[in-house]
Chain A
Amino acid sequence: MTTNGDQKIPLWRDDRFWRIALQILVIVIVVSVFALLGGNLTRNLRQTGNNFGFDFLKTSAGFNILDSLIPYTPTDPYSRVLFAGLLNSLRVMFFGIILTTLLGIAVGVARFSDNWLLRQLSLIYVEIVRNTPLLLQLVFWYGIFVQFPLIKESLNIFNSIYLSKQGIFLPWPSGIQGIIGLGILVICAIAAFIVSKRRTKVMVERGESGQPQLITLGIIGIIALLTLTVGLNWQRPMFNPTTNTIEGGLRLTIEFTTLLVSLVVYTAAYIAEIVRAGIQSVPKGQWEAARSLGLKSGLVMQLVVFPQALRVIIPPLNSQYLNLAKNSSLAVAVAYADVYNVANTTFNQTGRAIEVMLIIMATYLTINLFISLGMNQLNRSVQLRER
């Protein structure tokens, strides 16, 4: 019976057939498009006499780069200069993400401030920055930083910060002692985080005063402060009139500063809007309930509203981090030697367009997948856990 019934349905009216057939059609289209493109590529490469391969990475690069975190000389191979470029990119992305988060959250929260001026300022900032292109902002900031004085008449702040066209010079920890000091600071931060979590827990769950934890926090604070002031062996930049250079300390080239500042200012405006949307998504009742318990408005935000807003904030925040990472490739406009800039030069010297483009794509893809991975973990930890 049933088999009979099946046979009566014509093939073109069978829902199951179409479900499979459409999928096959999509596969056929995708495969043929890629086959066409691939065939075209190999044919063209053959015709211009270029053989696909990554051997060029071993040859000496021969060009100099401005910023490098690893020792690099022009005799080093292309692979090393690309790696130096990658580290430069990662440096901008790392500090960019940290700073942009801080600024973005601050501005986003400021939109709800009781202070009228603060509210208006953050509104103006967001609207100006969001409505002008990033490339324009890059050129704008570069135009500002390049107006710094020449190195011999560089702007000197408290004898420890120098501003000049050659870069911004800051005091920086030096030597073994500096590294140990930085390690102690990291340990202090982790310890403080654990203790303060514990303090909230005992106060909320057991109704204790939290006095012993507060004392521990104080001690950690004193240790950190001592390390910061004397333990790090701060090295101040010094102007050397004979060679006309500034020695010691940390040097941020104006190219790096420009890129970092524009990325942070630009992305933070978007993050501010995301934070605002997140906060507004928390029902008004939560505010009122928290206030009725006698919490001040700062504490309402910190303890009740913001943790709930995080659930809405984190997914779009992830996109902004990815955008920041990708936008860092605009470094070419201000001569910062990031991976895209260096790869561009490499491709020009070697003519290996496809190989170099593949390297760049793989690099950004990997970096962004890692950022997404981290953000997804974070997202999972703030989601509502239902039992």
Chain B
Amino acid sequence: MHKCGSLLVATLLLVASLTACESSNTTSTNTTSPGGNSTPASNSGTGQSRLDIVKQRGKLICGVDGKIPGFSFVNESGEYSGLDVDVCKAVAAAVLGDPNAVEFRNLDSTERFEALKAGEVDMLSRNTTWTISRDSSVGLEFAPTTFYDGQGMMVRQDSGITKLEDFQGKAVCVEAGTTTELNLTDAMRQRGIQFETVTFQQADPAYAAYAEGRCQGMTSDKSQLVARRSTLPNPNEHLLLDVTMSKEPLGPLTVNNDSTWFDVVKWTTFALFEAEELGVKQDNVDQLKTSDNPNIKRFLGTEGDLGKGMGLSNDFAANAIKAVGNYGEVYERNLGEGSQFKLPRGQNALWTNGGLMYSPPFR
């Protein structure tokens, strides 16, 4: 028995030392990941950038919501469309030269960050509000805002509710894990209103409960409310209150500590704004490559080495624009006059038109 015990201890020591070696070694040995096609290999511990992984895989995996018309929505034939989707396509075109080399993953608000951090998706483009805590303590990196939104409140037309004060003793449906939930609580606390929050982990049952009348109000980003209203049984019976409870800058994001990949997503997004400012469009991008304007030439990669510095081809911006058009075109198609929502540009106009869309110089 004694012998057996010492044998056991010896084995344990051996195992402990082996595993200790193992965990210190993996960082240096495991740099070559198999160039599999669709396996989302995590870059944890390899020091490899997401950019290399995406290039090896030949496909971008993009996390979207998938249920918000105008931003990301799957139709009956399984095709994705919307502003968020176009950003994914632009990145795929910039990196791989093919806007269709994207695999979309539908993620709800409670699983999105973990999916991104675990390397299940390469980037998120799904109505995510840029906040300091997400940027710092949650460990995310926010690319430029593609849609400036604000939180609103939807009520039934016949409910007689016209302002937040009318919610005394009433119930509001909200999706959990969103900044919306916190903003709503803050806004009501400021006004000293006693109300109820009915918190759903997913958007679908939340809107369903609102539609059934469990809640007198439904709160979310205004753009989402407008989009979702179109899917309710009688869209005309619902209206948005004239309140804005918060600012909600929505944009794509990547995981922390991978600045190579972050730069790619960031500058592809900026390229959409810059293209609109320079007048580069989906249908004139090829002929503008021979333009005399040095700004346009640099932007489209016929002059200089702007793409190489990021590990992309020099014409990455041209590829992105050719795939989805500039920001103005993307907006018009998905949310503006070309869509069912007819949302005015407002603060989402270019800075030159009094809006907030601004790209740092491409030089």
Which chain A residues have a beta carbon within 8 Å of chain B's beta carbons?
20, 24, 27-28, 31-32, 35-36, 39-40, 43-44, 47-50, 62-66, 74, 139, 143, 146-147, 150, 165-166, 243-245, 254-255, 332-335, 337, 341, 344-345, 347-351, 353
Contacts and interface: CB of A to CB of B under 8 A. Distances in A.
Given A27-B11, A335-B173, 9 more contacts: A31-B15, A35-B16, A35-B19, A44-B44, A44-B117, A48-B256, A335-B201, A348-B176, A351-B134
Contact of B199 (A39, A44, A47, A335): A335
B197 A66 contact: yes
Nearest to B3: A20
Interface string B216-258: 0000000000000000000000000000000000000001110
Given A146-B213, A165-B213, A348-B110, A32 B8 contact: no
A28 B205 contact: no
A48 B256 CA distance: 6
B181 interface: yes
Interface string B1-17: 00010011001100110
Contact of B196 (A47, A66, A334, A349): A66
B139 A49 contact: yes
A166 B169 CA distance: 10
Contact of B182 (A20, A143, A349, A353): A349
Interface in B90-122: 109-110, 113-114, 117
Contacts of A74: 185-186, 189
B45 A47 contact: yes
A39 B22 contact: yes
Nearest to A346: B177
A385 to B, nearest CB: 37
Interface centre among B22, B195, B198 (most CB of A within 10 A): B198
Contact of A43 (B44, B173, B201, B206): B44
B29 interface: no
16 contacts: A27-B15, A32-B19, A36-B23, A43-B26, A48-B139, A63-B185, A64-B181, A66-B199, A74-B189, A146-B212, A254-B214, A332-B200, A348-B110, A348-B113, A349-B133, A353-B114
Contacts of A40: 44-45
Contacts of A244: 169
A165 B214 contact: yes
Given A27-B8, A44-B44, A337 B15 contact: no
Nearest to A63: B181
A147 B133 CA distance: 40
Nearest to B111: A348
B74 interface: no
Contact of B197 (A50, A65, A254): A65
Contacts of A348: 109-110, 113, 176-178
A65 B200 CA distance: 11
Given A27-B11, A349-B182, A351-B134, A344 B44 contact: no
A349 B257 CA distance: 21
Interface centre among A44, A74, A344, A348, by most chain B C-beta atoms within 10 angstroms, is A348
Contacts of A350: 133, 137-138
Contacts of A353: 114
A214 to B, nearest CB: 51
A49 B257 contact: yes
Contacts of B185: 62-64, 74
A65 B186 CA distance: 13
A53 B176 CA distance: 23
Nearest to A145: B214
A190 to B, nearest CB: 39
Contacts of B45: 40, 43-44, 47
Contacts of B184: 64
Nearest to A48: B139
B198 A66 contact: yes
Contacts of A64: 181, 184-185, 188, 195-197, 199
B209 A335 contact: yes
Contact of B201 (A39, A254, A332): A332
B171 interface: yes
B256 to A, nearest CB: 6
A28 B117 contact: no
Nearest to B11: A24
Given A48-B117, A332-B201, A62 B15 contact: no
Across the A-B interface, the 5 shortest Cβ-Cβ residue pairs: A348-B177, A351-B138, A39-B23, A35-B19, A48-B139
Given A146-B214, A150-B213, A350-B137, A27 B23 contact: no
A166 B205 CA distance: 17
Contact of B177 (A27, A35, A44, A349): A349
A335 B200 contact: yes
Nearest to B258: A47
B168 interface: yes
B132 interface: no
Contact of A50 (B8, B139, B209, B213): B139
A101 B256 CA distance: 51
Nearest to A50: B139
A48 B257 contact: yes
A345 B181 contact: yes
A243 B12 CA distance: 70
Nearest to A25: B11
Nearest to A74: B185
Contacts of A351: 113, 133-134, 137-139
A126 B4 CA distance: 54
B175 to A, nearest CB: 10
A255 B198 contact: yes
Contacts of B42: 44
Contacts of A341: 176, 199, 201
Nearest to A143: B212
A353 B198 CA distance: 23
Given A20-B4, A146-B212, A36 B176 contact: no
Nearest to B201: A332
Contacts of B173: 335
A253 B332 CA distance: 44
